[in-house]
Structure 1
């Protein structure tokens, strides 16, 4: 009977895969060169992960630098009073995470995943879709808790999430984070009045 995969070894491989992808991108990712760089074999990678696509998805999902993981901790107590000013502060704290050099270094990879998901939806579209859905669900629940009806809560969440993803994409390509910061604050100025229940 074959020995089950070692969870610690599996996690270590995922961490190494993620760092390799950040350095080398996704477009040319091939199992044999990756395995050589990780001092293992392509057969071993398939043994642990089944497919290259699954390996990539899991490596990204376990990235502790992901703002979504930190955002959940920022939400604090479930009974905390939340109003438009609270949402604004929450989003400003999330935005500040993008100042982290490690996260900024990983942004090109995430953008590459998004584009590849559009071009090859059979491969990486679920990775992008899941990330966007998690963000929208999280913020929609906050807006519902503030008294917004379901449809409006989901629309406000979609507008905020999609706009912020766009604001991150620009400076990840061109490097002008000051302009993105100003645009982000203007976005909040425009959206905050719409977060009030009527």
Structure 2
């Protein structure tokens, strides 16, 4: 049976997917152009036609993985529900105890980014866009009166730092932190940033709206 001829875009996508798989299996340092070519049954020359070097292929593969993660984050944060539910879903998905894939890939990427400027730009862009998306929804929840958070940008940074650190512990040092404990820490951190009780994240209770300052003033007894 004749092979289906792929368009340039389709071929690049196929190569990037294969590169992501090979990086996850072998690591950035060990993966070769030949490994990606072999995984697809194509020639090294074909890979180099689309990506002129291993460095360009690896950087493009990480950029593709980043877009996948950001697309899922946008889906979770774009749901028509409360800001709290959207934040809880996003943080639990992104946490290393959740369903997000590729933590091994990103730990490899962080390590390689110390030496590869192109990878460093990809990692920085993903980090900035993730934090900006989280901070935006935190600000929406504050505006809607769902919870109190005086510094949405700081909250997003602290949550990201915790999740990334736990990912290293759970991925690189298996058993260092029990998954149930890590999950509890994530819930506690999110609740703390939003001025809520952790039970508001776990038992489905509707969080009590923080009182508005004007309402407090109106309720105060007359002198």
- Do these two structures clear the TM 0.5 threshold for a shared fold by scoring above it? yes
Counterpart in 1 of 2:105? 109
Counterpart in 1 of 2:83? 82
Gaps of 5+ in 1: none
Gaps of 5+ in 2: 1-6, 196-209, 213-223
Q: What's the CA shift for 1:20?
A: 1.8
The farther-off stretch of 132-141 and 8-17 is 8-17
Structure 1 residues 86 and 8: CA distance shift in structure 2, 3 A: closer
Indicate conservation of the 8 Å contact 2:97/2:179, yes or no: no
Indicate conservation of the 8 Å contact 2:139/2:152, yes or no: yes
Q: TM-score, normalised by structure 1?
A: 0.75
Indicate conservation of the 8 Å contact 2:18/2:39, yes or no: no
Q: How does 1:149-188 map to 2 (within 5 A)?
A: 152-176=151-175, 179-188=178-187
More helix by share: 1
Counterpart in 1 of 2:136? 141
The farther-off stretch of 68-77 and 107-116 is 68-77
* Post-superposition CA distance 1:80-129 (Å, at most 9, x none): 4324x6533442244387457xx2xx4323211101112x0424211221
Q: What's the CA shift for 1:147?
A: 3.1
Structure 2 Cα separation of the partners of residues 157 and 41 of structure 1: 44
Q: TM-score, normalised by structure 2?
A: 0.68
Counterpart in 2 of 1:91? 91
Report the RMSD for the aligned CA atoms in angstroms: 3.3
Indicate conservation of the 8 Å contact 1:136/1:154, yes or no: yes
Q: What's the CA shift for 1:151?
A: 8.3
Indicate conservation of the 8 Å contact 1:26/1:113, yes or no: yes
Counterpart in 1 of 2:120? 125
Structure 2 Cα separation of the partners of residues 90 and 33 of structure 1: 34
Indicate conservation of the 8 Å contact 1:170/1:180, yes or no: no
